[in-house]
Amino acid sequence: MTHHFVKGASSLLFIISAIKSFYCSNSICWKFSNTLVIVASYLCNAYDYHPSFLLLDYITIFLICTSYLNNIFINGALVLFLIHEGSTKTSIDGSKNMSFALATVKCIIKKNFYLDKFHYYVFVFSSISGIAIYKIRYNLINANNHKYTLFLTFLMHICATNMMYVSSITAN
């Protein structure tokens, strides 16, 4: 059995993006959610996806995405979908994934106009890689196979950190 700290350690990578959010963004919600993800992700990974910690992690990802979207109509629809999904299903995975997809699309469009090509390509590469790793981690590898879980989670956190770091430049 792997020690809790080792399993949650890759979540500490989010400290990098949280620091960047404090220097680059004016949005309090963006700064708060980038800081909260450190704790939420650590607890979720360190304690083997305990349902309470997994829910906190998903809500934090949802908060990061909606704070980046920063649109009352889109966020309102996403919150209604989150409430509906939370009351009718056992997971809010769909709400989290939908908010992530919308925030990623906004980032790609916005970064193409406001960032140099290097940051743009880092974001696009991290998005594609992160989604592929997520699919491999959760869909193709048996959840009980801990041999690759730690490594794939670490790779996902690298991609997510890159995405949030670059997004902090254009988060308002």
User: Is pLDDT above 60 for 103?
Assistant: yes
Question: What residue spans define the domains of the chain?
Answer: 4-170
Only one residue has tokens 């670059």, namely 166
Provide the pLDDT for residue 118: 86
Please state whether 70 falls in left (phi above 0), alpha (psi between -120 and 50) or beta: left
Length of the chain measured in residues: 172
User: Is pLDDT above 60 for 143?
Assistant: no
User: Is pLDDT above 90 for 166?
Assistant: no
Provide the pLDDT for residue 112: 61
> Counting Cβ atoms within 10 Å, is residue 129 exposed (0-12), middle (13-18) or buried (19+)?
middle
The DSSP symbol for 73 reads H
Provide the pLDDT for residue 149: 80
pLDDT in tens, 27-80: 899 999 999 999 999 999 888 888 899 899 999 999 999 999 989 999 999 999
